[in-house]
Amino acid sequence: MRFATVLLATFMLATGLPVQSSELRQPVPGVHALTDVRIVTGPGEVIDNGTVVIRDGVIAAVGADVAIPPDARIHTFEQDEDQDPVTLYPGLIEPYLSVDSEPDEDENGQPPPGRHELLRPDFAVDAGLWPQDRVQALRQAGFTTAVLAPDHGLLRGQGKIVNLGEGGAANNVLIAPFGQFASFADRAGNRRFPGSLMGAVALMRQTLDDARWQHQARRAWQENPAQPRPEWLEGLDALDPVMEGQTPLVFVSEDNHDSLRIAEFVSDESVDLVLVGHGKEYQRLDALAELSLLHILPVDFPEAPEVKDEDDRNVSLSELRHWDRAPDNPRLMNEAGIPFLLTTHELSNPSAIFAGLARAVERGLDPDVALAALTTGPARWLGLDDRAGQIRTGAMANLLVVNGDLFTEGPGIAQVWVDGNRFVVEAIEPPTVDPAGTWEVTLGMGEMGDMDARIVLSGPPTSMTGTMEVMGTEASFDEVRVSGERVIARLDAARLGGSGTITVRLEIDGDRARGTGSGPFGEFTVRGRRTATPDEEEGQ
């Protein structure tokens, strides 16, 4: 059994410890000045050294020569010339954050009477579905705004546009309701209809036809009440804004056949159709370009197939082609003129989006196009372009502070500001140690005992990479940062059979290290020593 699965099953039973985050909410006053900092106010727009003034959660001023109010708390970011500049970016926007909306069944295992379990257009994501863990993970990755989208059924219901601050939905809802979400993928169980794609399409078509008829019939009756009053079909009123193009119909697509099927199915030009993509759009660019539909693109590029021995070499040509071409997908979509936004959907750890974007940028995607797909693009789509997606006067004070460039495999996100509230992710300090080499460490799992592991760190302290091996399973870190004498390394627990993020923090003292870690299985201690430096490893 893999490492994370073992720990999740045993450590939580032994200790019951919750997952602790390195993110720290700072209680601060309502007026701030972030000064002596590089500011990316929007895609392609940079102030090399400027100031942002925040008052009561809103950006009051931004520029190179902004006067600092006397009542402001000053945050300065002066840096030495040999260090990467600290940069302010607009808060990132997640256009599709799916939340579990599967309904409770009654004692007989049947949906509520009178309603098909897969048709809930009047369902709305409520405060009880606030995805706290995912919100926190997104915020640590620099996201400050998101669309909460229901994920169950054919017609799934309405979402909400929210900020990702503290206090749940009550303190963060911006626009509600928003959109109507749909998919052809779900099926009714226990041999009930629909049990196939054909049945799902037929049921959806009949429902939309009924909604269109009801919308037109009741509007005609309201204009002429003397005629017989039409029948009212419960729940279908929620589709009126979709029929009139007032809110988008966001359709989740499984593959290119599904994308073209959905586009043909929703042929009404008054409907604002948006597709949540699948990453293989590059295979049918010409056909998709003719549709000119907005796509929400995932960045879950596949990792290289393992071919260590004969048993691993049974990899299909299509799998190899997709592994090679997937990072080109955003660039090719842009070159084809197909509008798109970017999403962390399908990624178990939102921070993993940066490793994917770094690959996409290496393959030719313009970094400004990538930034626009995470900021100004979704802000415009959501009707928030006057207050989100850019660092501008009058906008919400949604910012992220990055040590260096944003589009690297592990950007140094130090702070995230949501509505003028600061969340410290990691402190920014120049490295004072070089931890490169092989470290033999012991993970202290409390009552579960100790577990041996190996950590290998490579590269200079300012751009370090590494791996962690436990119980014969090796996984690459998504991010390795050296801050002062501390190493902070994170990896996607899915690579070790779990879910969420595993974080290791080490204090380096010569060839010895001591620290702590956290993950889906709780907290643990770490102690160890360096057994080889890069020079010694090369000489072996």
Three-state SS sequence of 407-437: CCCCCEEEEEEECCEEEECCCCCCCCCCCCE
**Taking residues 223-234, what's their average pLDDT?**
88
Per-residue pLDDT tens digits for 368-377: 999 999 999 9
Tell me: pLDDT of 101 over 60. Answer: yes
**Taking residues 291-312, what's their average pLDDT?**
81
- Helices 197-223 and 256-265 sit at what angle, rounded to 10 degrees? 30
Helix, strand, coil percentages (3-state) for the chain, rounded to 5, are 30, 35, 40
Q: What is the DSSP string of 340-366?
A: EEEE-TT-SSGGGHHHHHHHHHHTT--
H or E segment to which residue 404 belongs:
none
Per-residue pLDDT, 175: 96
User: From residue 283, how far is each of 219, 302, 333, 343 by CA, in Å?
Assistant: 43, 16, 10, 20
User: From residue 89, how far is each of 68, 142, 390 by CA, in Å?
Assistant: 20, 9, 8
Q: Residues 6 or more apart from 82 whose CB is under 8 A from it?
A: none
**Taking residues 16-25, what's their average pLDDT?**
45
Characterize the bridge pairing of strands 512-519 and 501-509: antiparallel
Nearest 10 degrees: Cα torsion 171, 37, 92, 521: -80
Q: Which two tokens stand for residue 361?
A: 């940028």
Q: Which two tokens stand for residue 216?
A: 């037109």
Tell me: pLDDT of 343 over 90. Answer: yes
Per-residue pLDDT tens digits for 180-222: 999 999 998 888 899 999 999 999 999 999 999 988 898 899 9
In the predicted model, what is the mean pLDDT of the chain? Answer: 87
Chain-centre distance of CA 223, in angstroms? 46
Cis check: omega of the bond before 29, within 30 degrees of 0: no
Q: Which residue has the tokens 């020593």?
A: 529
Tell me: pLDDT of 48 over 50. Answer: yes
Characterize the bridge pairing of strands 294-298 and 340-343: parallel
Q: Which two tokens stand for residue 474?
A: 């090796």
Per-residue pLDDT tens digits for 54-92: 999 999 999 999 999 999 999 998 666 666 789 999 999
H or E segment to which residue 49 belongs:
strand 45-55
**CA R_g for the chain:** 25
Tell me: pLDDT of 18 over 60. Answer: no
- For residue 8, name the pLDDT band (cuts at 50, 70, 90): very low
Check: CB of residue 490 under 8 Å from CB of residue 412. Answer: no
Q: Which two tokens stand for residue 205?
A: 């078509």
Q: Which two tokens stand for residue 461?
A: 């302290």
Report residue 195: phi and psi, to 5°: -115, 10
Per-residue pLDDT, 313: 64
Q: Which two tokens stand for residue 90?
A: 């607009």
d(CA 510, CA 179): 56
Q: Compare 490 and 193 and report the one with higher pLDDT.
A: 193
d(CA 419, CA 401): 14
Q: Which two tokens stand for residue 217?
A: 């019939």
Q: Which residue has the tokens 């501008």?
A: 392
Measured between its terminal Cα atoms, the distance across the chain in Å is 32
Q: Compare 489 and 379 and report the one with higher pLDDT.
A: 379
Per-residue pLDDT, 282: 96
Q: Which two tokens stand for residue 132?
A: 């706290």
Give me the amino acid identity at 288: L
Structurally, at CATH architecture level, domain 3-21+430-539 sits in Beta Barrel (2.40)
Tell me: pLDDT of 471 over 90. Answer: no
Per-residue pLDDT, 3: 47
Would you tell me which CATH number, out of the four given (3.40.1000.10, 3.10.290.10, 3.20.20.140, 3.30.70.270), belongs to the domain 92-381?
3.20.20.140
**Taking residues 97-105, what's their average pLDDT?**
83
d(CA 332, CA 325): 10
H or E segment to which residue 157 belongs:
strand 155-163
Of 157-161, 311-315, 423-427, the range with the lowest mean pLDDT is 311-315
Q: What percent of the chain has pLDDT over 90?
A: 60
Tell me: pLDDT of 406 over 70. Answer: yes
Burial label for 125, CB within 10 Å (0-12, 13-18, 19+), is buried
Q: What is the DSSP string of 469-480?
A: EETTEEEE-SEE
d(CA 180, CA 208): 12
Q: Which two tokens stand for residue 293?
A: 């539909």
Nearest 10 degrees: Cα torsion 61, 62, 63, 65: 40
d(CA 490, CA 478): 6
Q: Which two tokens stand for residue 138?
A: 């997104």
**Taking residues 91-95, what's their average pLDDT?**
98
Per-residue pLDDT, 410: 79
d(CA 540, CA 456): 16
Domain residue extents for the chain:
3-21+430-539, 24-91+390-424, 92-381
**Taking residues 481-495, what's their average pLDDT?**
83
Per-residue pLDDT, 17: 36
Tell me: pLDDT of 477 over 90. Answer: no
Q: Which fold has domain 24-91+390-424?
A: Urease, subunit C; domain 1 (2.30.40)
Q: Compare 488 and 329 and report the one with higher pLDDT.
A: 329
Secondary structure E strands in 193-267: 249-252
Give me the amino acid identity at 337: G
Per-residue pLDDT tens digits for 407-429: 988 788 989 999 999 998 866 57
